Amino acid sequence: MSTLTATHSSAPAPVQKARPPYKVTGRRVLRSEWAKLWSLRSTWITLGLGLVFLIAFGVISAAHYKSQLNSGQPLRPDDAGATALSLSLFGTNFAQLALGVLGVLVTAGEYSTGMIRSTLAAVPRRLPVLWSKAAVFGLVALAVATLGVFVAFPIAGGIVSGTRAALSLSDSGVVRSLLGAGLYLGLVGVIGTALGALLRSVAGGIAVLVGALMLVPGLISLLPTSWQGNISPYLPSNAGESMFALHHDATTLSPTAGLLVFLCWTALALAGAAYRLVRTDA
């Protein structure tokens, strides 16, 4: 008896298309950092505080100046040469803390939660992460600050109209000063981002930021007068203030020089952050 063996030909397996390799591009990293920034509640709160500081303190400063004039009391030495511009920008000192601190949180916050490991695993080259964080937050801080100063100035100008401090947008140097104030605060946000990546500590980054912007100028005032003139104009805060000051003298930098000096401080902070990011593990 013969046995017939039937041979069944197996059907060919369906060919699956190979999934295209995932490419890390600058645009995708920027979109990722943009999404992460706005997903945090602290972003909305701190940006709101920065905007409130700019507008509220500028209006309060102008109202206080006007009340001094109406009461007939002698003006304080700091208010003797005040203008609508300087009064409206009074809140800059407070807004720089809010924006700078948020910049620190943007980078150092990921180190404190451990999320930075996932970020660097997705972007192995590392440096695009730093550039994207700095660019995204810097532009956001610039937009918020510019909005704040252009809202504060007309209100403060209306309060002090009819006084010797009165100014309008059409006066020489006013628009340049307002844009300079917005740019200064945007760069403060970038410096905060760099300090957070450099120190990898929220407390440490905030401490260095506050010290550089507010404490060091006070310490420099303890030096001999001849030294102060050579050092003080080049400090980050003083160079930044010259970017939006309406009038300048021999002891201050011009707006262009102040911008260049402050850009150098910003580049130095970013260079330090980039070096540590590349050379050390997260």
Angle of the 92-113 helix axis to the 202-210 helix axis, nearest 10 = 160
Q: What region does 200 belong to: left with phi over 0, alpha with psi -120 to 50, or beta?
A: left
State residue 22's pLDDT score: 60
Structural tokens at position 35: 């999404």
Q: What is the mean pLDDT of residues 126-130?
A: 92
Which residue is listed with tokens 């400090």? 235
- pLDDT of 13 > 60? The answer is no
Angle of the 92-113 helix axis to the 127-159 helix axis, nearest 10 = 160
* pTM given for the model: 0.88
190-236 confidence digits (pLDDT tens): 999 999 999 999 999 999 999 999 898 888 888 888 788 888 899 99
* Contact predicate 185/243, CB 8 Å: no
- pLDDT of 19 > 70? The answer is no
Q: What is the mean pLDDT of residues 26-37?
A: 89
Distance of alpha carbon 211 from the chain centroid: 16
- pLDDT of 15 > 80? The answer is no
Domain membership of residue 205 (yes or no) is yes
Tell which residue, 232, 236, 239, 26, has the closest CA to residue 134. 26
* Contact predicate 237/231, CB 8 Å: no
177-197 confidence digits (pLDDT tens): 999 999 999 999 999 999 999
Q: How many of the other CB atoms lie within 10 Å of CB of 265? A: 19
Phi, psi of 240 (to 5 degrees): -65, -40
Domain membership of residue 9 (yes or no) is no
Higher pLDDT, 78 or 234: 234
Higher pLDDT, 2 or 86: 86
Q: What is the mean pLDDT of residues 248-262?
A: 90
Domain membership of residue 201 (yes or no) is yes
Q: What is the mean pLDDT of residues 258-282?
A: 93
- pLDDT of 87 > 60? The answer is yes
**Structural domain count of the chain:** 1
Domain membership of residue 18 (yes or no) is no
Q: What region does 118 belong to: left with phi over 0, alpha with psi -120 to 50, or beta?
A: alpha
State residue 2's pLDDT score: 47
DSSP secondary structure, 148-175, as one string: HHHHHHHHHHHHTTTSTT---TTSTTHH
Structural tokens at position 225: 């007068």
Domain membership of residue 13 (yes or no) is no
List the domain range (segments joined by +) for residue 148.
26-279
Domain membership of residue 16 (yes or no) is no
Average pLDDT value over all residues in the chain: 88
Tell which residue, 239, 245, 243, has the closest CA to residue 264. 239
**What sign for the dihedral angle of Cα 59, 190, 204, 40?**
positive
Domain membership of residue 51 (yes or no) is yes
**What sign for the dihedral angle of Cα 186, 188, 191, 193?**
negative
Which residue is listed with tokens 């937050």? 137
Domain membership of residue 19 (yes or no) is no
- pLDDT of 21 > 60? The answer is no
